[in-house]
Chain A
Amino acid sequence: MSYFIHLATLFSIYAILGVSLNLLVGFTGLVSVMHAAFFGIGAYAAAILMTKLGLNFFLAAIFGAVISGAIGCAMGWLFARLGGDYYVMGSVAWNFIIVSIFINWESLTNGPLGIPGIPKPSFGNISFASNASFLALSLIFLVCVYFVARWIVSSSFGRVIKAIREDEEAAKVFGYHTLLFKVAVSGAASAMAGIAGALFASYITFIEPTTFSVMESVLILAIVIFGGFANIRGSVLGALALVLIPEALRFAGFSQEIAANMQQLVYGLVLILFMLYRPQGLMGEYKF
């Protein structure tokens, strides 16, 4: 049972990452391969605030989301002038830079050794130390992020970011300052990734830099591609599939070590097959 609770908790964290990245990739057309960086910023910010300053998880998560969102806004502004392939390359580079900072800013991040002993959440007398209660908490966060994302894309703002994805120059001609919309959506997506990071740090109770590498960004992108571009429900489905499929390989007779490597293989295959045969993903409403 605890194994399934563990999988469900991972699913809820990755679903938050998938939903938030879909705002950027599926709705705005910004193919970001740096989402793990914001996931990491949220995780590190929350972990440092909890372990060094003794802050409560919820306050730390809010700060983590704000810091991640602010850096996301700055990156949104910086990369706004980059289009298409250049945006992808820039985002990959940014993920490398962030991981490098996590590794080398030892006085703050404890370097390659990572940060151990991150406390579990608690709120007054209510503790979320057990796996079941943590799952409930992470599902509540997922539901909140899901509805915030739905609210964003069903507003006029949502229509504008889709128009930016279609033809940014044409959108400008009708009076939209598209840069501001791109900065805002980058900030929102990064803040959501920051919340996922805080949850992850508190759940695993230990974080280290390589968890937030470019490979992790590719995994989150695979969730969006699998579930479908510009469909929030699709991202939840994508997270469910990409968290469960590799786990299912453990029961296919592969050894523990091979099963772990198979995970990368599965993600790679998913990306290739979907790009070839269903570029809009399972529930996608947009095709690149």
Chain B
Amino acid sequence: MTNNGTALEVKNLAKHFGGVYAVDNLSLKIEKGSITALVGPNGSGKTTLINLISGLLSIDGGAVVVGGAALGRILPQELPAYGITRTFQNVRLFEQMPVLDNILFVLTERGVFGALFERHSEFHLKHAEEVLRLVGLWEKRNELAVNLSYGQRKLLEIARAYAMCNIASKEGSGGKYEVPPVEENREAGVRNRGFLRRRRSRRHAVNNNNVEILLFDEPFAGLFPAMAETVAEVFRALKAAGKTIILVEHDMGIIRRLTDYVFVLDSGKLLAEGKPDEVLARREVVEAYLGE
């Protein structure tokens, strides 16, 4: 690893389903601003790890460290406050809502009363347009998500995660929506400085969509080459903006081409880690994938 600092750390993380350990005392560090791949055979614990980090599964042991705070319990609704967002292995869109609404949903007010008194504005529309144009879905904005093809659905989900990053809005807002420094924002959200203050900080972070870490679960699966290239472009844009990307992926070509660092999991444990070319050539990694 280079020396950009750690964006996210997993310390002795454990998750078991009955007697089966899906994640077994796992520790790893993700470098800031990197594209990191989690690879491993089916059932190796990759998606479980993503679900633990994003709060969709409860942690049985260990902690996830973000912004200097060790979290033993993460609630999904607090995820953006920790500067994290995600996509899902099986695409999860708001199916019977238009494409545009799927993006506007992540751009608007999170609080009940704030949302009640808010109508989406030109600012929201402009931001949504930038994001949808990036993945070539602007023309489909009024179609229901359920009517999109599989690849388009995948792109929309990735666009929704991208919209959480506030990259487009910095240009679109004309300086109207100032984003506080990321470190200050995230640390204020994570530290235990008192309930009210923490809540205010979280709300602040959420409303500005200041996500720094993006978890992608098999973003390239089932995409034809042109769409896969669009996703790769989105990843490059995110990396250029200094975002940290963690992706679960099986395509070794994509991993070699796109990622900076690889963690290989097997049976919930860390099997190997390092630069893609070097790690994917290791005998134990090949054996884990293909058998002895």
Q: Which residues of A contact B (CB under 8 A)?
A: 152, 154-157, 159-160, 162-163, 165-167, 169-178, 180-181, 184, 285-287
Q: Is the CB of A160 within 8 A of B56?
A: no
In the assembled complex, B25 has its CB within 8 A of some CB on chain A: no
Are the C-beta atoms of B56 and A173 separated by less than 8 Å? yes
Q: Which of B13-21, B79-87, B247-255 contacts A (4 or more CB under 8 A)?
A: B79-87
Which one of B85, B94, B118 lies within 8 Å of A163 (CB-CB)?
B94
Complex CA gap A166/B110 in Å reads 17
What 4 A-B pairs have minimum CB-CB distances, sorted nearest first? A175-B80, A166-B94, A156-B108, A172-B76
- If the complex has contacts A174-B80, A174-B105, are A152 and B116 also in contact, measured as CB distance less than 8 A? yes
CA distance A137 to B247 in the complex (A): 60
**Given A157-B112, A163-B97, 6 new contacts (CB under 8 A):** A156-B109, A160-B105, A167-B92, A170-B88, A175-B80, A176-B110
* B119 contacts the other chain (CB 8 A): yes
Tell yes or no: B117 within 8 A of A by CB. Answer: yes
A162 CA / B115 CA spacing, docked (Å): 13
Can you name 27 A-B pairs with beta carbons within 8 Å?
Answer: A154-B119, A155-B115, A156-B109, A156-B116, A157-B118, A159-B97, A159-B101, A159-B115, A160-B105, A163-B97, A163-B105, A165-B96, A170-B88, A170-B93, A170-B94, A171-B105, A172-B75, A172-B76, A173-B54, A173-B56, A173-B76, A173-B86, A174-B79, A181-B115, A184-B112, A285-B96, A286-B96
Q: For residue A170, which residues in chain B have a CB less than 8 angstroms away from its CB?
A: 88, 92-94
- Check B106 against A169 for contact (C-beta < 8 Å): no
B95 part of interface (Cβ distance < 8 Å): yes
Chain B residues with CB below 8 A from A162, complex form = 94, 96-97, 101
Complex contact B77–A156 (CB within 8 A): no
The answer to whether B112 and A175 touch across the interface, beta carbons within 8 angstroms, is: no
The chain A residue with its CB closest to the CB of B95 is A166
Q: Identify which of B86, B92, B115, B117 contacts A160 (C-beta below 8 A).
A: B115
Contact check: which of B55, B77, B88, B94 meets A178 at CB < 8 Å? B77
By a CB distance below 8 angstroms, the chain A residues around B93 are 166-167, 170
When distances are taken between beta carbons in the complex, the residues of chain A under 8 Å from B108 are: 156, 159
B77 near A175: Cβ-Cβ < 8 Å: yes
From B81, B88, B92, B117, A175 is in contact (CB under 8 Å) with: B81
B39 close to A (CB within 8 Å) = no
B96 interface neighbour in A157, A175, A178, A287, Cβ under 8 Å:
A287
Known A-B contacts A156-B109, A170-B88; A175 and B206 likewise in contact (beta carbons under 8 Å)? yes
In contact, B54 and A156 (Cβ under 8 angstroms): no
Residue B275 CB within 8 A of the other chain? no
B197 interfacial contact with A, CB 8 Å: no
> Is the pair A159, B105 in contact by a Cβ cutoff of 8 Å?
yes
A156-B109, A181-B112 known; A174-B164 Cβ under 8 A: yes
- How far does the alpha carbon of A191 sit from the alpha carbon of B116 in the complex, in Å? 16
Closest-CB distance, B83 to chain A (whole angstroms): 11
**Do A173 and B96 touch across chains, with their CB atoms under 8 A apart?**
no
- Contact check, A174 vs B106: say whether CB atoms are below 8 A apart: yes
In the complex formed, the residue of B with least CB distance to A229 is B96
Q: Hey, which chain A residues are within 8 Å of B80, CB to CB?
A: 174-175
Give chain B nearest CB distance to A166 CB in angstroms: 4
Q: How far is the CA of A149 from the CA of B193 in the complex (A)?
A: 39
| Residue among B76, B88, B206 facing the most chain A CB atoms (10 A cut-off) | B76
Asked if B120 is at the interface (CB within 8 A of a chain A CB), the reply is yes
Partner of B76, one of A154, A155, A159, A169: A169
Query: A172 touching B77 by the CB < 8 A rule?
Result: yes
B79-A173 in contact (CB<8A)? yes
CA–CA, A157 and B106, complex, Å: 12
Q: A136 to B272, alpha carbons, bound, how many Å?
A: 76
